[in-house]
Every structure is written in structure tokens, then in C-alpha cells.
Amino acid sequence: MNGLIPRTKDKISNENYIKFMNATQAEIEKNASPGGYYKAVWCRDASFILKDQFQTENFGITLKQVLLIWANQIGKESYHSFLQYVNFKELPLIYGRGSPELDFESRIADEGIKTRFEGALPTTIYYERRFCEVYGQAPDIDSTALMIYVTSWILTRLVEANEKTNYSMSLNLHTIMSELDQDNQGESWFFKVSINDIINFLIPRMLKGISYLQARDIDNDGLLEQKHNEDWMDTLLRTGKVVYSQACWILALNSLSYLLYKLSNEKEAKRMDELAKKAMEAVEEKLWSEKDGCYIDLLDADLHLDKKMHNRLITQDVSLYLVALTENRQNLGEVLHSSHVFDFQNTQNGNDTFLSSQEILNRASYSLDTLKKRIWKNNLPLVTEKEVDKTGPWLLKVNEYHNHTFWPWITGIEMLARNRFGKLDDFTLLMRMFIDSNGKIHSNLLHEWIDPNTFAGRGAFPFRTGISSVRLAAKDNHTANMVQFNNAYNR
């Protein structure tokens, strides 16, 4: 596993990669809503769409939507002068629709609730209907964490671009946004604003988001706790410590830390590093199952939860943790020699030992093998290992929505993990579900979710979150192939 993992011979051709990216490009040039019948912005979905938009150089629309999302952060914040250019007005907040403790009924958040939620982003921003929603009893971890992650990622690249071109920190957004005549509310949005303005607006908001998320570690063990339906699978009633949610938290911390180091804010950067290390050590200690050879959610026994879930059912979204382990690294050789990330302490059974980088990478490889063995059905990865009997507020049939179905969005994340950990034949197999060896795009897989028995697309179409997730994985794979080619050419 040392050095760059050899790329598979059976890989997606450069021609088909370009065909897939071109065929799906038009959807990415729109806004940050998931698409189809979804007419609002879900922050977790937006994080994937915005990263994809930025990588395809749609800078203007990306930055504008980032600013609009953070302008709707929950809590008291002084009005920033350039918000006038995005027609910002504070929206009413409701919460609780996904919570069995609140009888699955929406409630209007009063000032006390807003204070308790301060720093979090809402689950959904309904611009046209003029309100925001927190879906569960409390704000979901992934919406806030993933937006911190992608916002930091975008700002880092803006800062690095200025460094490379010897520009001052005063990029004129009028230039990169000249293609935007109007915003969603019909207001002209041509203005001049520096990167410093954007950074000074976003950094304090992201740090408030970190403070909110840190407070979700109620027992101070390094893992964030959640109540029912406070993650993307908002019908499965997961409550407790969920691997996917920890992955979102770790991505946020590492990405923000990287940006803060770039901005010479070493004190805050080191604080993010310490929180990230604590979270990763806790995942390795508490959420790794040696028996199963996989990371598994640690769920609370609860009268609302399906009894099958009490046994720590394997779910596909644990693959995001493997992505978090490899973020900002070009190859596994770099990961192996990164003591900064893999200096893990393991205190299980009273032993005070450290896990080596190789042991962590072995766990990642075992997890991917376990996912393929236990959640794949006819070479199709499903979001849950088994069907579940108890869901809410929507009572799901088997092979419906989150109940034992195929989701391109989370499969894109698994593809990203498989690419980074050298499971390249598996990556190619999954990619060819979307575009075959003849360059044909399978449009049914651009739906929100797919029935694994009939292979029929269901839910919203086209679903931009899934499209962006697969595009990001494809680009990651393509970049790695180009690195290998260039390395071989330059030898």
C-alpha cells in the first residue's frame, strides 16, 4: 500500500469521462436546489452541488449561493453591509416535523429555541415560500458540518489562486459574476466585494457553526449525538452516534483548519485539529466493529427505532468516514506517512495503545469489503443492509425511499472512497452503471433513488445532488489517473 496505488487497467476512458461530464453539465449550472420537484435549498445537498459548481468554474453563482445560505444561519448576527445586494431578509423558522418526540408536527421556533439552535444552519431554506425549517427536534449535524466543509474548501482555493497569481486579497467579483444578470428574487446583483469581505463574513459564521456542533457532544466522548431523523436518512429514526454524522463533523474541522492555517490563524486552526483528532480517535475506539470488519453506528435502544437497527445495522453512508480520512491527500502513500491524521489512541479494554496508519488503512479496506459483501445486491449497493420495519413520519414499504434502495448520491460517496483506497475495479463497476463502455448515459440513474428490483428510477428527476456526487467521484478518479500518467511520462 505504500506509494501511489496502481490504477486499474479496466478503467473509464477519458472520452467517456468527458461524455459523462458534458452530459450532466447543464444541471450543475443552475442553483443549489436538489432539482426535480424540490423547490428549495437543502444545505447538505447544496454542499455537494456547490463544490461541483466551483470545480466547473461557475464561480459567481457558487459564491452568491454560499453567501445566501450563511446569511440564513440561525441566531443573532449583526447585519452585514453587502447583504443588501442579495436581497436578504430574515426568514421565519419552524422545526420538529421529523421528530417522533414532537409527534411529527411542525412548530414555530420562538426566541428561546433560536438561541438554543444558534450557530446551526437550517435543514432547508424555502426562498420562494419565505421560511426556513429544521426538520428534526434539533438541527441536523450534517447540514451545518457539510456547509462548513465546502465553504472552507472554496475559500481555500480562492486564497490559493490569489497566492499563485500574486494578486492582492481583493478579487473583483464583478468580473467573475458578469454572467449573472439577476438573482432568484429578480434583483440585480452586480457589485464589487473583496475576498477579505467574504472571508470576514463567513469565518465568524463557520466558527459559530463549530461551536454549535461541538455542543452536540453531550457526554464529551468526542462523538456527536443526534436524535431521530437528524441526518440525511430522515425517515429511519436513527438516534445515537452515527458514523456518517461524525464524518461530516471531521470533514468540517479539517477543512476549516486548513483554511485557517492559510490565513495565519494558527490558534483556531490548532483548535480545529484537536477536535478532529478527538473525533477520529473516538470513531476508531467506539464505532469500529472487529466482529463485522466495518464501522457501524452505535444507536440507542428506543421505542421508535426498528429492532433491527438496535443491532448496529450496516449502512452505506459509513463510507463518508473513509472519504474524511483521505481528504486533502493525493494518494495513499501520503496518507500512510501522515502522522498528523493517523496518530490514533485506542483505549478499548483498558489498554492505552496507538493504532498505526497501516492499521487504520486496513480497517478502511475491510469496511469497503464488508460493504460490498453485505449491502450490495446484484452488484448494486443499497443504503441499508436489510429492510427495516419501522419508519417515520413516512411509513415506507420495502425498497422505497430510504428503505433498502439504491441512491446515486451516497453511491457517489462510496465510489470516492473506493477510488481513494485502491478498490478501482469496484469503482469502475459502479461508474459503468451511469455510463457504459460505449459512452451511453443511463438516465434512470439520475433519479433521486432507484428500486433495486425493477431498476426503475424514483423520486425527483433529475436529482442534482446525486449527479454532483457521482461527478465529484469521477473527477477524483480522473485526476488520479492523470497524476499516474504524468508521473510515468516524466520518469
* Co-location of 14 and 51 in the same domain: no
Residues 16 and 138 in one domain: no
Contact 227, 242 (CB under 8 A): no
276 found inside a domain:
no
Looking at residue 57, what is its pLDDT? 85
Q: Which residues pair with 25 in a beta bridge?
A: none
Residues 134 and 147 in one domain: yes
The cell for 442 is 443511463
pTM: predicted TM-score of the whole model, two decimal places = 0.91
Residues 338 and 303 in one domain: yes
Same domain for 130 and 74 = yes
Q: Is residue 282 part of a domain?
A: no
Residue 104, phi-psi category: left (phi > 0), alpha (psi -120 to 50), beta (remainder): left
Q: Are 147 and 121 in contact (CB under 8 A)?
A: yes
Shared domain check, 292 and 208: no
Q: What is the pLDDT of residue 351?
A: 53
Written as nine digits, the cell of 398 is 420495502
> What backbone torsions phi and psi does residue 260 show, to the nearest 5 degrees?
-65, -35
Q: How many residues does the chain have?
A: 491
Q: Which of 86, 46, 90 is nearest to 67 (CA)?
A: 86
- CA 442, 444, 448, 451 dihedral sign is negative
How far is Cα 74 from Cα 356, in angstroms, rounded to an integer?
40
Write down which residue in 190, 215, 240 finishes a domain: 215
User: What pLDDT is stored for residue 347 in this prediction?
Assistant: 57
Domain housing 313: 1-30+288-491
Same domain, 61 and 175: yes
Residue 238 covered by a domain: no
310 and 193, same domain (yes or no): no
| pLDDT of the residue at 355 | 81
Question: Residue 167: its pLDDT value, please?
Answer: 47
Inter-residue contact 310 to 301 (CB < 8 Å): yes
Same domain, yes or no: 36 and 142: yes
Q: Could you tell me which residues are beta bridge partners of residue 95? A: 107, 134
Do the beta carbons of residue 189 and residue 183 sit within 8 Å?
A: yes
Verify that 312 and 179 share a domain, yes or no: no
Domain termination residue (choose one: 163, 196, 215): 215
Structural domains counted in the chain: 2
Among 85, 96, 174, CA closest to 140 = 96
Q: Rounded to whole angstroms, how far apart are CA atoms 196 and 40?
A: 29
Of the candidates 402, 401, 235, the residue with the CA atom closest to the CA atom of residue 317:
402
- Flag whether 380 is in a domain: yes
Kindly report the number of other CB atoms within 10 A of residue 110's CB atom.
9
Where does a domain end: 186, 215, 244? 215
Residue in 48, 18, 38, 44 with CA at minimum distance from that of residue 467: 48
Percent helix, strand and coil across the chain, each to the nearest 5: 50, 10, 40
In a domain, 229, yes or no: no
Taking CA 478 as the corner, what is the angle to CA 475 and CA 482, rounded to the nearest 5 degrees? 135
Under 8 Å between Cβ of 135 and 234: yes
Q: What is the structure's pLDDT at 7? A: 44
- DSSP letters along 256-300, please? HHHHHHHTT-HHHHHHHHHHHHHHHHHHHHHSEETTTTEE--EEP
> What is the four-CA torsion angle of 105, 107, 112, 115, rounded to 10 degrees?
80
Distances in whole angstroms, Cα of residue 460 to Cα of each of 222, 359, 393, 454, 467: 36, 41, 19, 17, 12
155 within domain boundaries: yes
Please give the grid coordinates belonging to residue 422.
485502491
Distance CA(145)–CA(159), nearest Å, equals 21
Name every residue whose Cβ is closer than 8 Å to that of residue 288 and which is 6 or more positions away in sequence.
295, 363
Same structural domain, 44 and 78 = yes
Q: What angle do CA 395, 401, 405 make, to 5 degrees?
A: 125
Residue 252 counted as domain residue:
no
Compute the distance between CA of residue 368 and CA of residue 147 in angstroms, rounded to an integer.
Answer: 26
**How big is the CA angle at 39 (ends 35 and 43), to the nearest 5 degrees?**
75
Task: Give the residue among 357, 336, 354 at the shortest CA–CA distance from 345.
Answer: 354
Which residues lie closer than 8 Å to 201 by C-beta, 6 or more apart? 67, 70, 80, 82
The pLDDT value given to residue 13: 85
**Residues linked to residue 402 through DSSP beta bridges, in sequence order:** none
Rounded to whole angstroms, the Cα distance separating 438 from 13 reads: 10
Preceding peptide of 139 cis, ω within 30°: no
Take residue 380 and report the three cell numbers written for it.
448494486
Does residue 232 form part of some domain? no
- Do 349 and 373 share a domain, yes or no? yes
Cell of 156: 481555500
CA distance 214 to 355: 25
SS3 106: coil
Counting as low any pLDDT under 70, the low residues of the chain are: 1-11, 76-89, 165-193, 329-354, 482-491
* Cα separation, 399 vs 28, whole angstroms: 28
pLDDT at 231: 98
